[in-house]
Structure 1
């Protein structure tokens, strides 16, 4: 299940890893586990933020995807099932008519 995650890191929780130089290591570990098909990093509402797209085997995988961001960075995580153009065409074809 392709899922788009919008993640906003807690400022105080992410300041420590930035200051001590471990932010890169933490992100590399999380991203290696998630294997996102796309990842974009930016500022949102004055906070460090990112949008990543991951392919989850099922809904039960969602906690294990979100938990590292919650634990490491006190992040807000929004998850949206999403699709590419091929999946949209398939879905529309199922509407009939």
Structure 2
């Protein structure tokens, strides 16, 4: 299942990792491990953030995706199920519309 993983990264310990030159290694290890389909880094409410698209076979895979961010960056993680347009086309909206008139 395709999921959007929204990560909010506090200033610490990220600032310390930037200062000691290891932030690239840490981020690289996390991305290599979770293998996102896409990864975007951005600002979120005045702090650092990331938006990643990840694939999840079953809910028990959530800790493997979130724990690296929790343990290495003290980050907050939110997961949302997302669909491609072709997924939405398979949803049967036309039948749901008639069912719930």
Fold similarity call, TM over 0.5: yes
Q: Which residue of 2 aligns with 1:61?
A: 61
Q: How does 1:1-97 map to 2 (within 5 A)?
A: 1-91=1-91, 93=92, 96=95, 97=98
Q: How far apart are residue 94 of structure 1 and its match? A: 6.3
TM-score, normalisation: structure 1: 0.92
Moved over 4 A (4+): none
Q: How far apart are residue 95 of structure 1 and its match? A: 5.7
C-alpha distance in structure 1 between counterparts of 2:90 and 2:63, whole Å: 28
Which has the greater radius of gyration? 2
Question: Per-residue displacement from partner, 1:39-84 (whole Å, max 9, x unpaired)?
Answer: 1111111111010000111111001100000011110111101111
CA RMSD of aligned residues (A): 1.2
Q: Give 3-state SS (helix, strand or coil) of 2:90's partner.
A: helix
TM-score, normalisation: structure 2: 0.89
Q: How far apart are residue 28 of structure 1 and its match? A: 0.8
Identify unmatched segments of 5+ residues in structure 1.
none
Identify unmatched segments of 5+ residues in structure 2.
none
C-alpha distance in structure 1 between counterparts of 2:82 and 2:6, whole Å: 12
